[in-house]
Amino acid sequence: MRKSMLLVAGALVLASLSLVPAPLEAQTGSNPPAPASRPRPRPWKFALSGDSRNCGDVVMPGIAAGVKQSGAIFYWHLGDFRKIGSVDEDIAHQPEHLSTPLALPDYQALAWKDFLDNQIAPFGALRVYLGIGNHETIPPKTLAEFVIQFARWIDAPNLRAQRLQDDPTDRQAKTYYHWSAGGVDFINLDNSLESQFDPAQIDWFEKTLASDSSSPRIRAIVVGMHEALPESISKDHSMNQSPGGTETGRRVYADLLQAQNTAHKHVYVLASHSHFFMDSVYNTSYWRLHGGVLPGWIVGTAGAERYALPPEASSASQTNVYGFLTGAVHPDGQIDFDFQQVNESDIPAAVTERYTPEFVHWCFSQNSRAQ
């Protein structure tokens, strides 16, 4: 057992080292440089977005190129890879399906492979983390099938090592997990079903948060999920849609407030599900009266049909855009977030050639309910 735990700890150390850029080399010479002459550590970056159905096969290669150019060390997809309930427009416009349209069962059988081939492959060697959205559980798709299909991502070596360090008996990959990098704990939650968060996930989350809160090594906590927690500006399309979601989502929010206010951690909450970019999503009267406002963003901008913004959205919010959010992590755990828009001109030439310029333009000009 001791040997097994040492191996797990070693794997976590190696994974952490591989995720965070190495510090600048120390100056050579017999005497160390004076403290004032040492360069300040530079922030490191990560990137995320969600909702890549409809036109994701067109937009995501552009996002992948932008993420790599940004210097981000990983990309985090917050769920809703494909429509599942009907055929995505991008798949319907693939040359091999134009003359012979896919029947729905045939589309459903290939949809997730299409996502991996056309949306994840463009990231190349860049590390990718996958969340889960409500469209991943539309029949005939199931949570069990998701775990099997995406085991390479949700049971990656660093995630498996972290899971076993948390609980040496937990050998089953799950749709919720966490990993640490550079003093930040990233927590991926699953609220793909109306019943979520279920008791097992709540128990796991609160144990994880307690560990983070007591650890001097963890300076920031970043929580990502598909649907926004309850009582956000986007509450009409969030965990508020079910009593169970409202109750458990409020509990998670309260837990995060405690980590911020009592443990003095930087806390950030990220979601997608609503197909627009919005910041300050928890700056609502409800949370101002019930504990406080957590920093939060919605980034459902990876190719899905765009939605109109709620009337209360901040002036920095945008719709009818595609893109991704970057987080620049400072040594003290503070994270600066910045939305990076992906334009029609950013789509790789090979993608435009495959889908035709006309369809690519349709994705940017017509794939919207917010005209």
pLDDT at 63 over 70: yes
What's the pLDDT at 37? Answer: 53
When pLDDT is cut at 50, 70 and 90, the band that residue 19 belongs to is: low
Residue 18 inside a domain? The answer is: no
Residue 181 inside a domain? The answer is: yes
Name the least confident of 25-34, 50-59, 301-310: 25-34
> What's the distance, CA 358 to chain centroid?
30
CATH code at position 308: 3.60.21.10
For the segment 146-178, what is each residue's pLDDT rounded down to a tens digit?
A: 999 999 999 999 999 999 999 999 999 999 999
Cα R_g (the chain), whole angstroms:
21
For the segment 185-208, what is each residue's pLDDT rounded down to a tens digit?
A: 999 999 999 878 999 999 999 999
| Count of beta carbons in the 10 Å neighbourhood of residue 315 | 7
Q: How far apart are the first and last CA of the chain?
A: 60
When pLDDT is cut at 50, 70 and 90, the band that residue 214 belongs to is: very high
pLDDT at 31 over 50: no
When pLDDT is cut at 50, 70 and 90, the band that residue 20 belongs to is: low
Domain count, the chain: 1
- DSSP result, 175-205: S-EEEEETTEEEEE----STTPSPHHHHHHH
Average pLDDT estimate for 327-344: 98
CA distance 77 to 127: 11
pLDDT at 136 over 90: yes
What residues does 47 pair with on adjacent strands? 75, 326
For the segment 85-118, what is each residue's pLDDT rounded down to a tens digit?
A: 999 999 999 999 999 999 999 999 999 999 999 9
pLDDT at 320 over 50: yes
For the segment 255-287, what is each residue's pLDDT rounded down to a tens digit?
A: 999 999 999 999 999 999 999 999 999 999 999
For 23-55, b/e burial (b = at least 16 CB within 10 A) is eeeeeeeeeeeeeeeeeeeebbbbbbbbbbbbb
Residue 241 inside a domain? The answer is: yes
Q: Which domain holds residue 192?
A: 41-365
- Average confidence score pLDDT of the chain: 91
When pLDDT is cut at 50, 70 and 90, the band that residue 38 belongs to is: low
pLDDT at 224 over 60: yes
Give Cα separations from 274 to 40, 43, 122, 135, 286 (angstroms).
38, 29, 24, 13, 20
Residue 294 inside a domain? The answer is: yes
Residue 34 inside a domain? The answer is: no
Residue 212 inside a domain? The answer is: yes
Residue 16 inside a domain? The answer is: no
pLDDT at 348 over 80: yes
Closest CA to 133 of 236, 49, 73: 49
What's the pLDDT at 29? Answer: 37
What's the pLDDT at 194? Answer: 82
Q: Which two tokens stand for residue 318?
A: 């945008």
Residue 35 inside a domain? The answer is: no
Q: Which two tokens stand for residue 285?
A: 């009267």
pLDDT at 327 over 50: yes
What's the pLDDT at 35? Answer: 52
